[in-house]
A = this chain, B = another copy of it.
Amino acid sequence: MGGIIDGCPSGLEVDLDFIQAELDRRKPGQSHIVSQRKEKDKVEFLAGIFEGKSTGTPIGFIIRNENQKPQDYDHLMDVFRPSHADYTYAAKYGNRDWQGGGRSSARETICRVVAGAIAKLILKEFGIKIYGYTSQVGDIQLKKHYSKLDLTKTNGSIVRCPDELIAEMMIRRIEMVRKEGDTIGGVVSCLITGTPVGLGEPVFDKLHADLGKAMLSINAVKGFEYGSGFEGISMTGSEHNDLFFVKQGEVHTHTNHSGGIQGGISNGEDIYFRVAFKSVATIMKTQSSINSKSEQVEIKGKGRHDPCVLPRAVPVVEAMAALVLVDHLLRNQTTKLEYISTC
Chain A residues engaging chain B, CB cutoff 8 angstroms: 2-4, 7, 9-12, 46-47, 50-51, 53-57, 60, 62, 80, 82-85, 87-89, 91-97, 102-104, 108, 122, 125-126, 136, 138-139, 177, 180, 182-187, 196-198, 200, 202-206, 208-210, 212-214, 216-217, 219, 222-230, 232-246, 249, 251, 253, 257-259, 262-267, 276-283, 285, 287-290, 294, 296, 329-343
Contact = CB atoms under 8 A, between A and B. Distances in A.
A204 B216 CA distance: 8
Given A82-B243, A138-B233, A184-B235, 13 more contacts: A3-B4, A10-B95, A10-B336, A84-B263, A87-B197, A92-B198, A183-B236, A210-B213, A222-B228, A230-B276, A249-B294, A329-B340, A330-B334
A279 B205 CA distance: 22
A234 B343 contact: no
A11 B340 CA distance: 11
A278 B213 contact: no
24 contacts: A2-B47, A2-B60, A9-B336, A11-B337, A55-B96, A57-B97, A83-B241, A83-B257, A89-B265, A125-B337, A177-B237, A183-B237, A184-B237, A187-B233, A213-B216, A225-B276, A230-B230, A232-B278, A233-B279, A237-B282, A241-B283, A244-B288, A244-B290, A330-B340
Given A198-B343, A245-B290, A265-B92, A206 B212 contact: no
A240 B278 contact: yes
Contact of A251 (B125, B228, B290, B339): B290
B235 A279 contact: yes
A168 B289 CA distance: 44
Contacts of A216: 206, 208-209, 212-213, 224
B228 A264 contact: no
Most buried by B among A97, A212, A332: A212
A53 B239 CA distance: 37
A326 to B, nearest CB: 10
A182 B23 CA distance: 49
Most buried by B among A243, A277, A296, A337: A337
Nearest to A7: B334
Given A89-B202, A177-B236, A222 B225 contact: yes
B202 A281 contact: no
Contacts of A336: 9-11, 56, 92-94
Nearest to A11: B337
Contact of A217 (B205, B244, B333, B339): B205
A139 B139 CA distance: 23
